[in-house]
Structure 1
Amino acid sequence: MSNTAVPTRTETAGHGTASAWLVDATRLVLGAGLLTLLLMTFSPFAVSFEGSRDAGDIVNQVGYSALAAVALAGHLMFTGRAVALSLLRPAWLLMAAWLVVSALFALSPQNALRTAAFTILAMIAVTGALSLPRDARSFRICLTIAALAVLGLSYVGIVAMPGVAIHDGGGTEPQHAGLWRGIYSHKNVAGAVMGALFFCGLYLFRSGQRWTGLLIAGLSVLFVLKTGSKTATALLPAVACLVIGLRLFGGRLLPAIAVGGAVAAMALLTLGTVLSPTLDSILQAVLPGTTFTGRTDLWRFALELFQGREWTGFGLNSFWQTNVAYGAERNFELAWDTRSSPNGHNGFLDVALATGWPGLCLAVLVLVLLPLRDYVRIGNAPEDQRLADMFLMILAFLLLNSFLESFLFERANPIWMILWMAVAGLRLLSCHRLQR
């Protein structure tokens, strides 16, 4: 997908030979396999983690290490030098380095370093899924295989294994009874992934694969509705209209500005209301009684504990469900006991908790500002524009979701894999012409 007009390491002998066909087929199979496994995860239908938090999940560790190894081997064998160098973006390298540095200040550095390492390995695997397909058509095939695998297995689960593919209302969330989650652990994860797959279907439809695109988009929308995710349901049409609609009037600059404005507004109206009484009063005037299902209490609790660790953070995987949160004194001014929450239900807040303010600034640069600039710089070829639109829609949809859910830089999380695919995809498109 990311090749330029310059021949890659395997293309110098001519493209019409049997060996060249075998190389292309190998790249296609590896790319499709990487993308499918990244979206499906190594533990489909697992509704809870039974292992030790400190020891981690050995299946995920071995699995994502293997995917990263395949991706690195693919880069060495197939990826052009210019494309490979464009993946070594200084801001990305600095972000990865800061994940490691912040882990050194964690209460359990070994756990935080392991989490940072496997997060980086998974991100490398995503770059392989983007770079291995030889051209746009090959990438569309990989995307189709991965999307249909996720959708197919999820729908099979709904029919054949409803006990694990549908929330049964047990545990601490009886209100979720009957809501679909498919192969994923929670309906919110399923809603975000299926929402992203809707944009993949839309891209395939716009690229000429009408029936396949309609099938993927239709199955994805139905699944999102069945998850009961109000955020995903509302954002799907809004993001599609925002990007494609504004592209018709203002080229690529207007959609980029609109997405940036929407992300900033969402930040102010969610986490901003906890930091600023003025913003909170504005929100309450528009939507009286809004607490984002108790999330505002959770954010206040986290920000109180964050004081004193603003520059280093606590390290990845080293705040929630650890003694840092469990051992804190309960704040009885809050409506509920927030200490047992699995995460902060705000991706950018959790990035700050893990890496401090410097890490948060780097994350905003890497995930928001640079991708929007990349989108504006992409060439005018129709295929490039359609793929760029898909990546931007996925980016906008998941960034807006991240203000109410937590998945940024979270190892083995398929939502993070898709978001990083959009970020890396926009980078590659801005640097190179897409081979047709």
Structure 2
Amino acid sequence: MSHLIDVYEVRNVAAGIERQQVMDIVRGATFVGTLLLGWISLHPFVSLGDMQIGDVSTGNELATYAVFGALSVLTAALAMRNDARGLATLLSPAFVLFGAWVLVSVVLSFDPATSIRRLSLTICVVAVTAALMLLPRSQQELMHWFTIAALALLAVCYLGILLAPDLSIHLASDPQEPGLAGNWRGAFGHKNQAAAIMVMVLFLGIYVIRSGSWISGAAIVALASLFVLYSAGKSSLTLCFAVLLLTSVSSFIRSFWLRAIILLTPLALLNLLSVGTVMFEGLAGISKLLPFDSTFTGRTDIWAFALQSLQARLLTGYGFASFWGSSAIQSLPDGKEWAGFAAHSHNGYLDTALGMGVPGLLVLILVLVILPLRNFQQAGEGGNNGPLATMLLRIWLFGLYLSAMESFFLDRSDPLWFTFLMAVFGLHYLARFRARA
């Protein structure tokens, strides 16, 4: 009888091990597949020759909504099975306040239907990224998954350059921005987005090297760096060096306030010397003395129009993601007709104010600027100050800086927003739980 019991127990153990192995494969495939979807999207290698001047994104893509909706359920279920405590920490006062104000901006929206539609995808993406960082059981597992995803993305982009250059390199025949001819964009729709994602992947490569996988990490860094150079992403390249320098310096500092001054002062300067130049003549004069285009490639006109429009709805804004490309833009004066075709204001903070008013911008700064830095500080104090925390800090900081010239905050399934969110949630978890080696 005892022999039969032993056999039964052995079979149970074997079945449990088999189930665990299956779940490990499911978790890894879900993580890597979802990350690649966030980067590449369901519509990679779009033909820019088919686009007409005035085309704007409506976000009304049924397949994208359906896939991210299904993934939000899958990743949440896996995270609940793996680490329900981690998900519970997201019910913090700051996150709840931010979510509540987003809902208020939808209710008071100039175009509620558009706001609701776009918010639904944004919620799915937020849910996916929040759960995704809870799927790995150890730092080693997370590093392996990031390595696979980064190398796969690089392979897709480089194969595109080799096999379909007309769909992965800007052409002189493109109706929009023919002056970008020759710049690489890979699977992405624009070279600026490609360059920014490649910088984030470069940070991943450095993390992989520091985690002990030298060959894979070096390959990621080299391939991502080459892509950034050939995409001619000058802003991304400059910000990359700035982030690497500032995060290296801040690693020797223990004071939260001194670290905040070092890392966030450049953010304030970037916004003052960009959007600030159309608000204050003194700043405009200073920007003209600096060795770069003082119009920021025509962005000053967009910022001036956006600020003028914001003055009419400072408290509530025009509603979540319902200003650009909507009926909110009416009766444009001569010379401003282009505003009806603009996709965003090329500044994430200004776009947030346009959508959710100044109160919404202040809450966003609390949730996406102040708290992640505080979480990094707490992670270090709790012993989580290794390569993973540094990598997440770099992606987060690069995203903050880049948002002074681009708009991706709360932008549905935008790959920059997707990657930035993973860093924000990663820092949130590292501040509360000890990462298993």
Distance, in Å, in 2 between the alignment partners of 1:162 and 1:187 is 13
Distance, in Å, in 2 between the alignment partners of 1:52 and 1:270 is 24
Q: Secondary structure at the match of 1:80?
A: helix
User: For 1:12-411, what aligned pairs fall within 5 Å after superposition?
Assistant: 17-47=17-47, 56-81=60-85, 83-169=86-172, 170-247=174-251, 249-251=252-254, 253=256, 254-287=258-291, 290-325=294-329, 327-330=330-333, 332=335, 337-379=338-380, 384-411=385-412
Deviation digits for residues 58-82 of structure 1 (CA, Å, limit 9, x no counterpart): 111111111111122112222232x
Deviation digits for residues 110-141 of structure 1 (CA, Å, limit 9, x no counterpart): 11111112101101101122111111111111
Q: Secondary structure at the match of 2:297?
A: coil
Distance, in Å, in 1 between the alignment partners of 2:99 and 2:171 is 39
Deviation digits for residues 381-414 of structure 1 (CA, Å, limit 9, x no counterpart): 7764211111111111121111111111101100
Distance, in Å, in 2 between the alignment partners of 1:395 and 1:266 is 16
Superposition TM-score, scaled by structure 2 size: 0.89
Mapped pair 1:413 → 2:414: yes
Rg: which structure is higher?
A: 2
Q: Which amino acid counterpart does residue 113 of structure 1 have in structure 2?
A: I
Deviation at 1:143, TM superposition (A): 0.7
Question: Does the 8 Å contact 1:242/1:255 carry over to 2?
Answer: no
Distance, in Å, in 2 between the alignment partners of 1:302 and 1:55 is 21
Question: Does the 8 Å contact 2:56/2:341 carry over to 1?
Answer: no
Q: Secondary structure at the match of 1:79?
A: helix
- The 3 A distance-change label for structure 1 pair 380 and 210 is farther
- The 3 A distance-change label for structure 1 pair 252 and 141 is farther
Distance, in Å, in 2 between the alignment partners of 1:27 and 1:409 is 26
**Runs (5+) with no aligned partner, structure 2:** 1-12
Deviation at 1:349, TM superposition (A): 0.7
Q: Which amino acid counterpart does residue 158 of structure 1 have in structure 2?
A: I
- Which residue of the partner structure matches residue 8 of structure 2? none
Question: Does the 8 Å contact 1:44/1:183 carry over to 2?
Answer: yes
Question: Does the 8 Å contact 2:56/2:343 carry over to 1?
Answer: no
Question: Does the 8 Å contact 2:160/2:168 carry over to 1?
Answer: yes
Question: Does the 8 Å contact 1:168/1:176 carry over to 2?
Answer: yes
Q: Secondary structure at the match of 2:365?
A: helix
Question: Does the 8 Å contact 1:36/1:145 carry over to 2?
Answer: no
Deviation at 1:15, TM superposition (A): 13
- The 3 A distance-change label for structure 1 pair 252 and 205 is farther
Q: Secondary structure at the match of 1:33?
A: helix
Deviation digits for residues 12-46 of structure 1 (CA, Å, limit 9, x no counterpart): x9999444343333322222222222222222112
Question: Does the 8 Å contact 1:331/1:337 carry over to 2?
Answer: no
Bigger Cα displacement from structure 2, 59-68 vs 276-285 = 276-285
Deviation digits for residues 91-128 of structure 1 (CA, Å, limit 9, x no counterpart): 22322232222122223211111111210110110112
RMSD: 2.4
Deviation digits for residues 142-182 of structure 1 (CA, Å, limit 9, x no counterpart): 11121112111011100001111111131120111111111
Question: Does the 8 Å contact 2:183/2:191 carry over to 1?
Answer: yes
Distance, in Å, in 1 between the alignment partners of 2:33 and 2:15 is 23
Distance, in Å, in 2 between the alignment partners of 1:47 and 1:119 is 25
Deviation at 1:89, TM superposition (A): 2.6
Q: Which amino acid counterpart does residue 417 of structure 2 have in structure 1?
A: W
Bigger Cα displacement from structure 2, 361-370 vs 93-102 = 93-102
Distance, in Å, in 2 between the alignment partners of 1:72 and 1:246 is 34
Q: Secondary structure at the match of 1:425?
A: helix
Deviation at 1:258, TM superposition (A): 1.5
Deviation at 1:234, TM superposition (A): 1.1
- Which residue of the partner structure matches residue 6 of structure 2? none
Distance, in Å, in 1 between the alignment partners of 2:272 and 2:121 is 31
Report % sequence identity: 34
Superposition TM-score, scaled by structure 1 size: 0.90
Distance, in Å, in 1 between the alignment partners of 2:416 and 2:47 is 16
Question: Does the 8 Å contact 2:57/2:343 carry over to 1?
Answer: no
Distance, in Å, in 2 between the alignment partners of 1:119 and 1:394 is 20
Q: Secondary structure at the match of 2:356?
A: helix
Distance, in Å, in 2 between the alignment partners of 1:181 and 1:288 is 23
The count of aligned residue pairs is 419
